[in-house]
Amino acid sequence: MDPNIQKNGWGTTMWKAGHLGGACTMLAGLLCVGCAVVDPKPDYARARDMVKTSTGQDAVYSPEEPGLTEEQVQALFVDGLTQEEAVRVALLNNREFQAAFYEIGVARADWVQSGLLANPTINTSLRFPSGGGGSTDFLGAFSQNIADLWQIPMRKNVAAEVVEQAVMRVAGVGAGVAGNVRRTYQNAVTAEETADLADRNTKRAHELVDMVRGRKSPSASPLDVDMMLGDAMQAELSAQGALVDVAVMRHELAKLLSLGMLPDDVCLTDRVHDPGPVPLSADKAIAVARAKRVDLQAAGKAVDATQAQIKAEYMKILPGFSLGLDMEREPQVPEDGKGRLATIRDSVRSSLFSQATGLPLSGMSRTAEPEEEVTLGPLLAITLPIFDQNLAQIAKAKLLHEQAVKQREMLEANVGHDLAIQHARAELASRNLAFYRDKLLPQVERNLDAAAADYQEGKIQAITLLDAQRSLFDARHQLLHAQLSAGTAMSDLEQAVGAPLAVAATMPAEELVPADDPGKTKSIMSLPISNMLPSDIGQSLLNEPGKLPASQIKDSVDKTLEMIPSEESSKK
């Protein structure tokens, strides 16, 4: 008998302490291999760098760092709030932006999970003798699915592309939040200036009412006074409505900053101003956008992810290929053919008979324990791809890839049109602002002064003076909205370009990656979805599954993967 195995009174076997220690050591090693750590910090840092590049800000939220405290926010409000300070607060405190960051952590966790081996499997069973004799038969098996060895690289490629998509989506959310804050800040400042303008218009209207009432030669008619007074009342109503607009826009700004409220004593220090001419040409703006826009980069990563998913689905044609060890402990039957329970039964009967008759127990001897045998051998288990060869999932992956290609082509084709439109709007808004400021407003101011003088002399009717006053009020409002339109158009152009305009204007040509020509990507749908299991392998699996080498199956799958064009080759 093996010296490493000893018998007890019941015929069972026990491993020695040395074998138990070795098993514990192996188990600890397997547990260490299975340990996985999810560390999305580098991905967070890349997303933050992209947001900094697109917004021109140097402070961006990170899930690994504490956010802004109430005291820090209040400290920013001491000297008022500029537009760029509002953007900074939003990039550190906006809850939508903060929540988007956790998509990166989730994607990184999926990447870690994609690289883990499947857990091994242990199977055990007990077989009890039907005749009541003999010991229990024990069977056990340990197996590991080694299909992960060729599936893990593909799964990790897919998961890595998903991580890149998540990083770029977060960068896009950050750029969108910054653009929304700039627009809302400008709207809030415009609302405040509109309220101030309404007050000035009201005062001007009442001054004209007093002037009309005070004219002596000839004296103003009651109708003239009533018409001027009606315009003054309209100006008062406009002033009241403007105050409501101010409150609404301050609340909208507070929402984007994720603040409970924007205190009334916080002054928005930046005023509506002329942003100046557009600092770069339309062609330069388009080139920069195609190189820096994160949505274009994310679309490219989506194409790469679906390309990798196709290969991953091909590798799932053989989903299960397990290797392991199989063990069985089977006791030998005693020479007399009796089971253990039968032997014990006979011994008890003999003992009772001896006690009853007084005869000695001569001739009786203790039944020897049966000798046990342990058999150990290799185990092979293969999931035969007969009915399900994963062809539907392969077709689905191809369709998703085709969809991603079309979506990328759409973005690439539209970016030129969108930039041309935004650039034209920005230039038009700049020209309109200069026209209102330099020509129209000075002209209507002169017209009103001349009309007031002529009315005092009795040369014109009150209706002419009223028209001149209305023209001045309209011109002032148009100038204010022209300033808002110019600022908003410039902010929209900057967001469409994907970088601050001052930086984009000075960006050297070598940093601008030329865009791929849409429409040249070969369609992967041209590949037929055939039965990907070769006939010789299928026949071998049916006849002798245990004798088919795994290398032959893997080589067949590798040849199939070579048929799939890579993303780089599909563009040629």
Strand, coil or helix: what is 324? strand
Contact residues for 483 (Cβ-Cβ < 8 A; gap 6+): 190, 272, 273, 274, 433
Q: What is the number of other CB atoms lying within 10 angstroms of the CB of residue 450?
A: 13
* CA gap 493, 425 in Å, rounded: 9
What are the structure tokens assigned to 476, written together? 């002032």
Residue 373: burial class (beta carbons within 10 Å; 0-12, 13-18, 19+): exposed
What are the structure tokens assigned to 465, written together? 């003076």
Domains and CATH numbers, the chain: 43-332+371-515+546-570 (1.20.1600.10)
Residue 510: burial class (beta carbons within 10 Å; 0-12, 13-18, 19+): exposed
Q: Are 522 and 565 in contact (CB under 8 A)?
A: yes
What one-character DSSP code corresponds to residue 119?
Answer: P
pTM here is 0.71
Contact residues for 345 (Cβ-Cβ < 8 A; gap 6+): none
pLDDT tens per residue across all 572 residues of the chain:
444 444 443 333 333 444 444 444 555 555 555 567 889 999 999 999 999 988 888 889 999 887 777 788 888 788 888 999 999 999 999 999 999 999 999 999 999 999 999 899 898 888 777 765 566 778 888 989 888 898 899 999 999 999 999 999 999 999 999 999 999 999 999 999 999 988 988 888 888 888 888 777 677 778 878 888 888 888 888 888 888 999 999 999 999 998 888 877 788 888 887 888 889 898 899 989 888 888 888 999 999 999 999 999 998 888 888 888 888 887 655 555 545 555 555 565 556 555 555 555 444 444 455 556 788 888 888 888 889 889 999 999 999 999 999 999 999 889 889 999 999 999 999 999 999 999 999 999 999 999 888 888 888 888 888 888 889 989 999 999 999 999 999 989 988 898 888 888 888 877 776 444 444 444 444 444 444 444 454 445 445 544 445 455 456 545 555 555 554 554 44
Length, in residues, of the chain: 572
Please give the order of strands across the beta sheet that includes 321-331: 121-127, 137-145, 321-331, 372-382
What one-character DSSP code corresponds to residue 118?
Answer: P
* CA gap 114, 159 in Å, rounded: 7
Q: Tell me, what amino acid is at 546?
A: G
What are the structure tokens assigned to 494, written together? 């900057």
- Which residues does residue 457 pair with via DSSP β-bridges, in sequence order? none
Alpha helices by DSSP H, listed for 390-507, are: 391-435, 441-456, 462-497, 501-505
The verdict on whether omega for the bond into residue 334 sits within 30 degrees of 0, i.e. cis, is: no
* CA gap 321, 113 in Å, rounded: 20
Tell how strand 121-127 and strand 13-14 pair up. unpaired
* CA gap 183, 174 in Å, rounded: 14
pLDDT of residue 554: 53
Q: What is the number of other CB atoms lying within 10 angstroms of the CB of residue 558?
A: 12
